[in-house]
Amino acid sequence: MGTLYYGDSQTPIGIEDRTLSHLKVALITKLRRGESFTLSWQHPDDQPRGRSTIWLHPAIPLRFVFDEPERPELNTKWINDLMRSANSTGGVQLTPEELDTSPIATSPDQPVAVGADVQEIAKPSP
């Protein structure tokens, strides 16, 4: 379980490491552009029922702490979904990852991307 520290809040936000890794890329990309937005999530089962929302702004300190030392392979679609939701009036909504299980069509001479650069992920869709 990873932890997100926001501002001077004494209450850390617990988020599963894989989810936090994807969220980090989306949030940092938006904040680096000087954009402000909200982040919302439902409380986990071990907390009182409900949901929370925070306002993210480039001037407010943000720290990501991961339990796992290795960074997971990132799902570009999930990051794009998170970034797209940041542009909505509801802000970023933490949703479960949807895995694309369809085969990847490539030609024999076309390289397959193993990882993605943040700049490539962050490009706005046409």
pLDDT class of 67 with cuts at 50, 70, 90 = very high
Q: Cα separation of 40 and 42, whole Å?
A: 7
| pTM listed for this prediction | 0.73
Task: For strands 51-56 and 62-65, give the pairing.
Answer: unpaired
Domain ranges of the chain: 2-97
How confident is the model over 80-89, as pLDDT tens digits? 999 888 888 8
Q: Cα separation of 100 and 33, whole Å?
A: 29
Amino acid in the structure at residue 94:
L
Q: Give the position of tokens 């990051």.
A: 79
As beta bridge partners, residue 63 has: 5
How confident is the model over 4-33, as pLDDT tens digits? 999 987 788 889 999 999 999 999 999 999
| Strand order through the sheet with 2-6 | 13-15, 2-6, 62-65
Residue 41 has pLDDT above 90, yes or no: no
How confident is the model over 92-126, as pLDDT tens digits? 888 778 765 545 454 445 443 333 344 444 444 44
